[in-house]
Amino acid sequence: MLKFLKRFYIFIIFTFLYAPIAVLIAYSFNSSKSSKWTGFTFDWYIQLFQDKQIMNSWGVTLRVAIFSAIIATIIGTMAAIGIANMKKRTRSAVLSVNNIPVTNPDIITGVSLMLLFIALRIERGEITLLLAHITFNIPYVILSVLPKLHQADNMTYEAALDLGATPFSAFWKVVFHEIKPGIVTGFILAFTLSFDDFMISNYTGGTAQTLAVTIFSMTKKKINPKIYALSSIMFLTVLILLIIVNLRQDDNNSKKERKLKKVEKNL
């Protein structure tokens, strides 16, 4: 009975969370603009891809998400390596500073970056949008890579140096492969956060509008079912990325368990 109640409780929670999204996806296939179901259609998806404003926003969103994720992953990985080699007190202080953008409300980050760009007399557009996304993505990459660096065996890196490898070669051939899951997870997380961000993009984008900003501006008028189709695509994109991240984590955990079992058998 207790197991049934636990499962029922979890079912209710997930139903409450995802029922509105399921309704939104269903209405994206409704042939009517009203809430009354009149038939199944793909017309809203066809009109969506014919809308120039939405397609321009889609291009801006993808470009910013991809480039910001790549740059933030590179900078965040290098920063994580530096933090991992710091002394304990210094590392704690730096991590505390790193966690501020993570816990800080997005509106504060967005307004602060907007004021910075205005003070520097930088015209807000796709460049400022990219810089803003890189800025708030870096802390998440650091938090993804740092645990993998702590799990890595420093003895293998030192052994590679003793065998004549250069520091870069030893890092690339030894350390990189150990922290690669964290790097990939950080990249996907950065891409996901950038892809669906609204608050920071709204303040720093200027003339360059992301999909989230475009959707918000469209909701000020009479809601067009194209928004349902667009929101459905965005939700499925983020869902697929999160599934990939979780599958990679499960695969890495299973590989570690198999290695541990082999070591135990050899002992």
Q: What is the pTM of this model?
A: 0.79
d(CA 80, CA 78): 5
Provide the pLDDT for residue 103: 86
Tokens of 161: 């140096």
Q: pLDDT tens for residues 104-125?
A: 888 888 899 999 999 999 898 8
Would you say 68 and 136 are in contact if contact means Cβ atoms under 8 Å apart?
Answer: no
Tokens linked to 183: 């790097």
Dmax (CA) of the chain = 73
The closest alpha carbon to 194, from 83, 106, 257, 98, belongs to: 106
Coil, helix or strand at residue 40: strand
Q: Over 90: is that where the pLDDT of 154 sits?
A: no
Tokens (6 digits) for 195: 């892809």
Weakest-pLDDT range from 16-20, 114-118, 172-176: 172-176
Positive/negative CA dihedral, 130, 136, 137, 142: positive
> In the predicted model, is pLDDT for residue 102 greater than 80?
yes
CB neighbours of residue 235 within 10 Å: 15
Rounded CA-CA distance 203/132 in Å is 10
Q: Is the pLDDT of residue 164 over 60?
A: yes
For position 264, what pLDDT does the model report? 58
214 to each of 48, 101, 191, how far by Cα in Å? Answer: 13, 25, 19
pLDDT at res. 225 = 81
- Per-residue pLDDT tens digits for 197-233: 888 998 998 888 888 888 888 777 777 788 888 888 8
Distance, in Å, from the CA atom of 218 to the CA atom of 251, rounded to the nearest integer, reads: 41
Q: Sorting pLDDT into bands at 50, 70 and 90, what band is 55?
A: confident
The pLDDT value given to residue 45: 87
Instruction: Select from 215, 178, 171, 250 the least CA-distant residue to 24.
Output: 215
Q: At 71, is the pLDDT very low, low, confident or very high (cuts 50, 70, 90)?
A: very high
Where in the chain are the domains?
53-149+180-252
d(CA 29, CA 25): 7
Long-range contacts of 46-49 (CB under 8 A, 24+ apart): 47/226, 48/226, 48/229, 48/230, 48/233
pLDDT attached to residue 75: 94
Spell out the residues 6+ positions from residue 85 whose beta carbon is closer than 8 angstroms to its own: none
198 Cβ partners below 8 Å, 6+ apart?
210, 212, 213, 216
Percent of the chain, pLDDT > 90?
17
List the structure tokens of 193.
């956060």
- Give CATH for domain 53-149+180-252: 1.10.3720.10
Over 90: is that where the pLDDT of 66 sits?
yes
Beta bridge partners of 30: 40
Residue predicted with more confidence, 128 or 154? 128
For residue 263, is pLDDT > 70?
no
Percent of the chain surpassing pLDDT 70:
93
**φ, ψ dihedrals at 40, nearest 5°:** -90, 135
